[in-house]
Amino acid sequence: MELKHLRIFQKIAAVKSYSLASRDLYLSQPTLSTHIKTLENELGIDLFIRKKTRVEVSPIGQVFLQYTDQILALVDEAKKNVADYKEGFHGTISIVSTHTICNWLLPDIIHKFNQQYPMVKIILNTDFSPYGIEMLLKQEAHFAIIRLPSPSFSDRRFVSKIVHSDESILVASPEHRIRKLENVSLKDISTEKLIAFAVKTNFWSQIQSSFQRYGLEPNVIMELNDIHSVKIMVKRGMGIAFLPSIAVQDEIKDKTLITLPIIDCEPIKRYSTFIHRKDLILTGALQNFKNFICKQTVSCH
């Protein structure tokens, strides 16, 4: 039994005419008759009752027609779902990103992607950049978005693209005494209580390097890995902190935190870099997400 036999049977049953079915299917009437005869012989039944000007489906043919409709509907659905998968409308995408990116860059991107591809499942993990790279190497995630101090990422095992850049800035409570200084220097900062964020990452290495250029050492009174906790501590006046500008934009806007320009410190740039293994097979969903994230971020190169 072949699908073409079922489609021919379904068409003739619908139009009740071999000639009309022949026209619609672009097949000759003898060819249609041969296919129907083959199907009838295989089933051992007569599918049609032939009348002068038309044909009617036989009672047993009506039973078989119900199965035919279901079979062909399932075949069409399967073809559509396979095509959707190839085109990226179905599938699963696993991403690992830093907490900063997860909280302030990805929500809007994933929301827009989900509106366009609602049947694609997103699995989002958060961890510091070294662990994101490790997850890719272990094939525990498809993509990673890591934070780097440089726009270049030279690991030949990965494909990389910069998707965002911002600066690490000094923030304080609006009531903190340091705001009274006309010009803030690294030496001024070194005498203040500093709350350190992500001390085991290259984020903190950049901060430390800025002090070390002048032979200074920051006065760290607290170390935290959770950026929300750092902001709470700073708002309560427990200390000042260097944080990614993307992470404090709302607080700066509503003036619950202030940013303090530093007169003797070059901008501390941070680059959010989208990476995946070179040997990753990009299915439709994966390729669509890769294309999408680059289109949604203005600094993607």
Structural domain span for residue 70: 3-87
**Same structural domain, 18 and 53:** yes
Domain boundary pick from 69, 87, 105: 87
145 and 279 inside one domain: yes
Same domain as 171, residue 159: no
301 found inside a domain: no
CATH number at residue 23: 1.10.10.10
Same domain, 216 and 130: no
Number of domains in the chain: 3
pLDDT in tens, 51-62: 878 999 999 999
* Same-domain check for residues 161 and 179: no
35 in the same domain as 106: no
Residue 7 has pLDDT above 90, yes or no: yes
| Residue 284 and residue 243 share a domain | no
Is residue 26 domain-resident?
yes
- CATH code, domain with 247: 3.40.190.10
In a shared domain, residues 101 and 238: no
Q: How far apart are CA 280 and CA 11, in angstroms?
A: 45
Q: Is the pLDDT of residue 120 over 90?
A: yes
pLDDT at 300: 38
Task: Give the mean model confidence (pLDDT) for residues 114-137.
Answer: 93
- Distance of alpha carbon 64 from alpha carbon 16, whole angstroms: 16
264 belongs to a structural domain: yes
Of the residues 57, 87, 117, the one at which a domain ends? 87
Residues 149 and 187 in one domain: no
Its pTM stands at: 0.74
Choosing from 30, 53, 87, the residue where a domain stops is: 87
Pick the more confident residue, 196 or 282.
196
pLDDT at 296: 67
Q: Cα–Cα distance between 185 and 80 in angstroms, integer?
A: 63
Q: Is residue 145 part of a domain?
A: yes
Same domain, 179 and 255: yes
- Domain presence at residue 218: yes
Of 129, 132, 162, 164, the residue nearest 147 (C-alpha)? 129
- pLDDT at residue 298 in the model: 45
Same domain, 130 and 179: no
Q: Is 178 domain-assigned?
A: yes
Asked if residue 147 and residue 176 are part of one domain, the reply reads: no
